[in-house]
Amino acid sequence: MGRPKIKPARVSPGVDGVEASFASRADSLRQLQTLAGTFSLPLPPSQSMITLQVLLVVGTANPWRLVENRRSSARHPRRMLCFASFERIWRAIEEYLRWQQADALFVASHMVTPGGFSGVTADWVHSNDFELVFTPQREAMRAEICLTPPEEIVML
């Protein structure tokens, strides 16, 4: 006597007319959440942090959602990026991961000083002013790496 075969539940055709199973969407969501969970970008020197969260809102035009969570002492709005397909959100998360690596190299090259002087960067910028001084370069780097635009951005 074997275990009964369980068929995945089917959802009605979505906006794009393609049927998808709950099981495959749940698996896709799990894969994305695992990938997004590897992204954690510290923003020195205040040690604020950006993390990602993936959501799936079935029955909407852009069901795949990527939420940027910023944890810092300053009040930053959270952004929800809405994507039409699994492939587009996957590509966007991969770009975030490349940005994380590039930013870590940028910070390391600017924060380490010869002789270990504390409180200043290699460019002789006070560490408290690091974000203020280097935000334009870091945002330009992000714009060069994160090229997959969402279909919609919602400020939370």
Average pLDDT per 10 consecutive residues for the chain, totaling 156 residues: 36 40 78 84 63 91 92 72 95 93 83 62 62 82 96 93
| CA–CA gap between residue 78 and residue 74 (Å, rounded) | 12
Cα 115 from Cα 14, distance rounded (Å): 61
pTM recorded for the entire structure: 0.69
The whole-number pLDDT of residue 5 equals: 38
Q: What is the pLDDT of residue 49?
A: 75
Question: What number of other Cβ atoms are within 10 A of residue 79's Cβ?
Answer: 16
CA torsion sign for 13, 19, 21, 22 is negative
Residues 11 and 59: their CA atoms lie apart, in Å, by 10
